[in-house]
Amino acid sequence: MSLRQTLHDHPLWILLGIVLFGALGYVLAAFVGTVIVAVFVYYAARPIYRQLTDRIENRTAAAGISIIALVLPAIALVGYALLIVTRQLREVADVVTVRPQDLGISPELYNRLTDPTFFVSGEFRQLFSGELAGSVIDSLASVAGAATTVGVIVINLFAMVVLAFYLLRDDRRLAGWVNDQFETDDSIVSDFGRAVDRDLSSIFFGNILNAIITGTIAVIVYSLLNVIAPEGAAIPAAALVGLLAGVASLIPVIGMKIVYVPVALYMAARGVMTAGGETLWFVVLFTAVSVVIIDLIPDMILRPYVSGKNIHIGLLMLAYILGPLFFGWYGLFLMPALLVVAVQFARIVVPALVDEAADPQLPPSGARIDANPLLRTTVGTAAPETTDEAAAGTQPRTDVAESTADDDDSVDDADRETST
């Protein structure tokens, strides 16, 4: 039974389904940020997961390894980079984002942990003894006072990881169920779904993941470079420069060069004017690290996975810019996803609907191509004969028989005349 016939025969069940989906959508709308980030994590981990499934038969184990061993450490690293950026925002612009007390962390411990030089200094050993250990204990004791903030963060992270895990493990099963229920093979629905999946993979795994990885590496590396910087030659606002480099990687052609090249020129001019050029070696080191470690290496690793460039780069740039302004922080993921769905709908579905309206003999949109007898001969399947065609097919044989009998009578008459 076709989907259109099902809708016609069971209107009450369809109405109930609409109500249930509406309720589900209302619940998901409250957690839209968690859901869209989980989808991003799914696309980011899917290439790794598929590599593991070639070696591990257990899909659950492969999905678990992809999430636990690869995704969770990446989330922790990104979170630490954001803490560094938050601290520098407080120092440079006095912007209050998340206070240490909101996370149950004492300001002293927060300041030490968000300073990357702390981990390469001898003070790091104090983390497990002495005064800093007491600070850690006090911070843990104060977590109860910040249970609301911490609890919301933990619940959202847990929901995101669980959703991404099951999307990895059961994506093919879900696609197979949709195909079996609605017979979407060789249909507009199938083409539309594949195009959206391809472009989401390109955007999430290619562009946005590249920006996140680049920004995280830049924040930490630039902050560590300041450890060995000569006096008066440090990278200005190193964490913010790293964050801007990650965001700038979304810009085509120029990329993060729009950030680190002006910074390098500023540092070189400052070094010549204040130190007579003695600190230019640090400027050269900063430029080399920016080009090799932050620019080239992430690009070389992720570039082979960036394919299916069916979305205009200008539209993508607008989505990246307007998404966070319109939706908030998760707009960076949600707006490009909406753009992909809209573009592929206009590219695949709209022409099919227009062609169907122009030619009523075409099968309905979403139907299999061989569902229409007029099109079966194009795929190697003969169309069944109708009753009229069968009757018309037997009629010529009757006419031929009558014509043959008339010819025989004419020959007999001619023989009689000749004999007479």
147-182 and 188-201 helices cross at what angle (nearest 10)? 150
CA distance 116 to 226: 9
Backbone angles phi, psi at 123, to 5 degrees: -70, -15
Other C-beta atoms lying within 10 Å of the C-beta of residue 55 = 7
Q: Which string of b and e fits 249-260 if b means at least 16 CB within 10 Å?
A: bbbeeebbbebb
**Torsion angle in degrees (nearest 10) through CA of 336, 339, 345, 348:** -70
3-state helix, strand, coil split of the chain in percent (to 5) is 80, 0, 20
Other C-beta atoms lying within 10 Å of the C-beta of residue 67 = 22
25-26-32 Cα angle (round to 5): 75
One-character DSSP codes across 173-205:
HHHHHHHHHH--TTSHHHHHHHHHHHHHHIIII
Count helices and strands in the chain by DSSP H and E runs = 19, 0
Name the pTM for this structure: 0.68
Backbone angles phi, psi at 31, to 5 degrees: -125, 35
Domain range list for the chain: 32-182, 195-379
Backbone angles phi, psi at 98, to 5 degrees: -120, 120
Which tokens in the block code for residue 111?
Answer: 């300041």
SS (H, E, C) 8-45: HHCHHHHHHHHHHHHHHHHHHHHCHHHHHHHHHHHHHH
CA distance 192 to 259: 38
Residue 138 in contact with residue 106, Cβ under 8 Å? yes
CA distance 169 to 49: 9
- pLDDT tens, residue order, the chain (420 aa): 555 666 667 788 888 989 999 999 898 888 899 999 999 999 988 988 988 988 888 999 999 998 887 777 878 888 778 778 877 777 666 555 556 655 556 666 666 666 666 655 555 555 555 555 555 555 555 554 455 666 777 888 899 999 999 999 999 898 888 888 777 777 888 889 999 998 998 888 877 888 888 888 899 899 889 888 888 888 988 888 998 888 888 877 778 888 999 999 999 998 888 877 788 999 999 999 999 988 888 777 766 555 445 678 888 888 988 999 999 888 989 999 999 999 999 999 999 888 877 766 655 554 444 444 433 333 334 444 444 444 444 444 444 444 444 555 554 554 544 444
pLDDT of residue 255: 80
How far lies 204's CA from each of 201, 260, 269, in Å? 5, 24, 38
CA distance 123 to 41: 35
CA distance 255 to 258: 6
For residue 67, what are the contacts with CB-CB under 8 A and spacing of at least 6?
Answer: 41, 45, 161, 164, 165, 168
Which tokens in the block code for residue 326?
Answer: 């319109």
For residue 394, what are the contacts with CB-CB under 8 A and spacing of at least 6?
Answer: none
Residue 233 in contact with residue 271, Cβ under 8 Å? yes
Residue 224 in contact with residue 116, Cβ under 8 Å? yes
Residue 258 in contact with residue 265, Cβ under 8 Å? no
Q: Which residue has the tokens 């007491």?
A: 134
